[in-house]
Chain A
Amino acid sequence: MFAYIVRRLLYAIPILVGVNLLTFLLFFVVNSPDDMAVSQLGEKYVTPAAIQAWKEKNGYDKPLFVNAQAAGAATLTDTIFFTKSVRLFAFDFGRSESGRDITTDVSTRMWPSLAVALPTFAVGIWVNICVALMVVMFHATRLDRWAVFGFVALMSISYLFYIIGGQYLVAKSWKLVPISGFHGGAQAWKFLLLPVLVGVVAGIGSGARWYRTLFLEEANQDYVRTARAKGASEISILFGHILPNALIPILTGVVVLIPSLFMGSLLIESFFGIPGLGSYMLDAIRSQDFAIVRSMVFIGSILYIVGLILTDISYTWADPRIRLN
């Protein structure tokens, strides 16, 4: 397994280079270093000298990919792409365009992201599995049909509707929790209740419907009939037999998400005022802060790759027959 993991990590290097190149291209197709300077310097008294000074200060006064005026390797290394990208691979994210240290910001903001994403993820999976198993238990009954109808209806509603509806009902009309905001420590729970509730409810439709399909496939297997014939209770059959055997496809979709939980959620964080990494990324895009966008995409890529590796490892735990070679 160790060799497998090492190999996968080595594969990650060209992937990360590619992702970085793509981010760089996409960003600079719509923005030039001059645009970035204007965006950072404001709209008044932005002189060409000030733009040039900003570019020099922030390292954007070089050519993008090829420095024709340089000699030898410097043709490629003395460029914006190289100087900005190489540091990422050393996990040196540098400063944002407005001067803040990105590593400090990321390490500060990942905790609020996790505080929302982790319970949403854990409770969401638990609820989805329980609901799906319950529906499977009543398969081909009226309850099952109505449940499927409900799932499709829940899936069809925009995520924004859940957020705004939740805020309107729970926070504005019923005044049960603050409508938005975040404070750490003992106060945190009251800010997390609503976003977690919204996240869980919004995910039930798609999650439970998918799990139901997986469980139904297992529910018709011989071993289930055997268990039932041996007198096992339905709960024991559902949780003890069907669930473990349906774990592989569930793990495929779920484990890969676990590392990405650090990255937070763009919508939830923005609407609920959670100062996490999701809103960090959104703000960076709005303010054309390439340093943050580049770093966040890089971190996201790494976490996704880690998630894929963890998924593979989790297969061996779920199904001992699987070997990673």
Chain B
Amino acid sequence: MFRSTGNRAPGLRRERQLRSGCLAAVLLGTAALCGCTDKPWNNPHPPPPDERVTYYSVMSPAPPKHLDPAISYASDESLYLMQIYEPPMGYHFLKRPYELQPAALASPPQVTLLDAAGQALPDDALDAAFSRYTLRLRQDLHYQPHPAFARDAGGAPLYLFDSAEAGAKFHQIPDFPRVGDRPVHANDYVYAIKRLADPLNGSPMLGFMSHYIVGMTAFSEQLAALPRDGWLNLDDYPMAGLEVVDAHTLTITIMGRYPQFVYWLAMHFFSPIAPEVDRFYHNPGFADRNLTLDWWPVGSGPYMMVRNDPNSEIVLERNPNYHSDYYPTEGAPGDREAGLLQDAGKPIPFVERAVFSLEKEVLPLWTKFLQGYYDRSGEVHGNTTGVFDQAFVVGPDGVALSDDLADHHITMSPDVKPGIYYYGFNMRDPVVGGYSEDRRKLRRALQIAFDTEEYLNIFYKGNGIAAQNLIPPGIPGHLEGAAGINPYTHDWVDGEAVRQPIEVARQLLAEAGYPNGRDARTGEPLKIFIDVQSQAIGNTSMNWMDRIFSQIGVQVEFRPADWNRTREKLLTGNTQIYSHGWLADYPDPENFLFLLYGPESPLLCECDGANNSNYDNPEYDELFRQVRVLPPGEQRAALVARMVELYRRDAVWMFAYYPKDIYLNNSWVHNTKRHGISKDTLKYLRLDTRERERRQIQWNQPVTWPLYAGAAVLLVTLLPGVLAYRRRQNATARQEHV
């Protein structure tokens, strides 16, 4: 009989060591996790460096690509730029319809109309050759502290290097030990406009603004012809349409009349850029370490960027040099009742630090918001679509918060975006295009059959408003109520717009030459082709559309493609029905009416024009030209109404809706009204940080029993194994083989 005792002592010792190790690890882990505090374990934010009021939010779903105000043209980038830069004009935070107001300017721009010889014309002259905008800046504008402004004892810039090696130790802006600042000069605005014209920057505004700002094209061509090596001081090259009058006054001269130019002055493209900042970022080797104006913006707005890690988070802090600014004392009807004027007249900004963390997936974002670690559910998007069923209930009064969210005292901020998404007809298409009455009837039949309201309810959970007009709510030219409906597709019944019955669609189709959806001449079924962007549509919505059109006997074929292929089709007119969308640059009807302006047709302009329907109506075009130059008023409103009527009569789009988004705010966040156009609203937010801390502790107490249960399960699982092992080790050879 053999007993396997040869190496028993070392084996047992190892076993004991293993067990003690496991026990120690479990105890240590538990102790480390438990700590001796009621502070949550799952707080994803590191402790703030000081007691200043910190706002936590998300950048989602991707970090910004560009933060250079001359290059950036995306709303998620605008979120940061508009906190850091201060353009000449801005928007009133609360008033609706949207209202422009001076931001960096001391007063609204003064517009002088000029004839071709440069002589002043009366204010109502419609045939002006030029318009000169005189901008008078506030006296208290001041840049944020930044190393580009730092100077040595002799007054020379401190951080200008001759070689990449000399500045190699600086990897991020906070690495520079010394900073400086200076007041904003009128020339900085001129310099910024020159940067738009510099072909090296590739600004999206160059092509568009060249049509307006005098001398911009020539300036751009002049720079393109220059040999470039390193920084080019744009101050050395004058642009005809720009003039610095004094330290706080400049003029911009544009061609003809373009009243909408004032809206462009509210965009970040026209924010000041200090030449020394541009010079600083052209230091040798800086671009290789991502030390560029595209990543480290420098402005005079309420906040400054102190951390930019596009892989993780962007941190803004209050600009200590920001001028005095106050919360508005007036608002739109209902704002006072909603508590939005409680802070009227108080100095802003309230938030002193803002942390935007990268969140690519909905579940973590949503969970952190519910745990109280994000103050709001989103900035550029509400991020509630993916969790709609958890967040909301749809009742007779529309969308309301679910019980869980209501218990958290979360508030909703619905936002109808100043934009429009639509499926348009190609008016040059031989089947659905054209301007004859039977073609209009065919298109109207399709319009009536496409139940936009049902489509929005099913696929967008009601987060959209069926469009009766191509101008969205909040913008002059959009009418509510009976006066605002499209009489060709809807009736006003019992105080609401009701889609005309499907029989009307069938009748229109028959009158168009397609009784029961078949061509009266050939007997062939009518088949329509819809080009869709593959990422933006699913099988269920395609099936739904198939079913909708089958009601009138029309067959549908979808042609999904990515955006690039869709764009190619639009540029060549190789489409019948296409999907598209437009978000406004500024709240003026002109910014929507131009979507059907004839010369904007890609086939006519041989460019990336906005009139993808290739709509060609001389009356519409003439009206548009008048609307573009007229100031707001009754005359302009009448012209806009006529253009809307033409759009409805000619049935240019199959269906359209205004996108709606719901943003959620935790109970400690105040002044959360959404502004559809402007993103510079962070300065108005107010937080109750004590309430936040209390709620975070209340909502995030760790559930520790799974740890103990896990340890117990592990023991229970291991124990039989250990016992069996011991039995085997102690077994005799005979017993082993029995």
Q: Which residues of A contact B (CB under 8 A)?
A: 31-32, 34-35, 38-50, 53-54, 57, 95, 98-101, 103-105, 108-109, 112, 134, 137-138, 143, 164, 167-183, 187, 190-191, 228-236, 270-273, 275, 279-280, 283, 286-287
Contacts and interface: CB of A to CB of B under 8 A. Distances in A.
A28 B164 CA distance: 35
Interface of B: 2, 4-8, 10-11, 14-15, 33, 40-44, 46, 62, 65-66, 73-74, 199-200, 202, 204-208, 287-290, 292, 294-295, 309-312, 357-361, 363-364, 367-368, 371, 563-564, 567, 585, 606-608, 700-704, 706-707, 721, 724-725, 728-729
A171 B200 CA distance: 48
A272 B358 CA distance: 11
A170 B706 CA distance: 9
Given A40-B65, A280-B311, 15 more contacts: A35-B564, A44-B585, A45-B205, A57-B200, A95-B287, A98-B66, A105-B290, A112-B311, A169-B706, A175-B40, A175-B702, A178-B368, A179-B367, A183-B312, A273-B357
Given A40-B65, A275-B358, A287-B65, A45 B204 contact: yes
Given A48-B607, A50-B202, A234-B729, A187 B46 contact: yes
A30 to B, nearest CB: 8
Nearest to A97: B65
A269 B322 CA distance: 38
B703 A175 contact: yes
B204 A180 contact: no
A273 B358 contact: yes
Nearest to A232: B7
Contacts of A171: 42, 367
A131 B606 CA distance: 67
Contacts of B15: 235
A167 B702 contact: no
A233 B361 contact: no
A323 B369 CA distance: 59
Contacts of A187: 46
B207 A45 contact: yes
B363 A179 contact: yes
Contacts of B44: 178-181, 191
A233 B10 contact: yes
Given A45-B208, A190-B41, A179 B360 contact: no
A271 B706 contact: no
Given A41-B204, A49-B207, A54-B202, A174 B702 contact: yes
Interface of A is mostly: helix
B311 A275 contact: yes
Given A104-B289, A180-B359, A42 B5 contact: no
A15 B361 CA distance: 36
A104 B170 CA distance: 13
Contacts, number: 183
Contact of B312 (A39, A229, A275, A286): A275
A115 B386 CA distance: 30
A42 B583 CA distance: 13
27 contacts: A32-B564, A45-B73, A45-B608, A48-B608, A100-B290, A101-B287, A103-B288, A138-B721, A138-B724, A167-B363, A170-B706, A171-B42, A172-B363, A174-B706, A178-B44, A180-B368, A181-B357, A190-B41, A229-B2, A231-B2, A231-B4, A232-B7, A233-B8, A233-B10, A236-B10, A273-B360, A283-B62
A174 B707 CA distance: 10
Contact of B368 (A103, A168, A179, A270): A179
A174 B367 contact: no
Nearest to A177: B42
Contacts of B368: 178-180
A289 to B, nearest CB: 9
A47 B46 contact: no
A253 B725 CA distance: 30
A312 to B, nearest CB: 33
B204 A101 contact: no
A229 B6 CA distance: 10
Contacts of B208: 45
A231 B736 CA distance: 13
Given A48-B607, A99-B294, A235-B11, A178 B289 contact: no
Contact of A53 (B202, B311, B360, B608): B202
B361 A271 contact: yes
Contact of A44 (B8, B204, B310, B358): B204
Given A47-B608, A279-B360, A42 B721 contact: no
A109 B703 contact: no
A182 B312 contact: yes
B371 A46 contact: no
Interface centre among A54, A168, A183 (most CB of B within 10 A): A183
Contacts of A174: 702-703, 706
Contact of A176 (B206, B702, B728): B702
A50 B703 contact: no
A179 B42 contact: yes
B74 A231 contact: no
Nearest to B700: A175
A247 B200 CA distance: 58
B42 to A, nearest CB: 5
B311 A109 contact: yes
Contact of B41 (A104, A105, A175, A228): A175
Nearest to B40: A175
B702 A44 contact: no
A219 B49 CA distance: 58
Interface centre among A40, A50, A187, A190 (most CB of B within 10 A): A50
A92 to B, nearest CB: 10
A49 B7 CA distance: 82
Contacts of A39: 564
A177 B706 CA distance: 13
Contacts of A53: 199, 202
A100 B287 CA distance: 8
Contacts of B288: 101, 103-104
Contacts of A35: 564
Contacts of B701: 175
Nearest to B605: A47
Nearest to B295: A100
Given A35-B564, A42-B73, A275-B311, A47 B207 contact: yes
Contacts of A275: 309, 311-312, 358
A246 B8 CA distance: 24
A167 B212 CA distance: 54
Given A176-B702, A177-B41, A235-B14, A273 B359 contact: yes
A158 B288 CA distance: 41
B202 A175 contact: no
Interface centre among B205, B364, B706 (most CB of A within 10 A): B364
Contact of B11 (A143, A236, A272): A236
B707 A38 contact: no
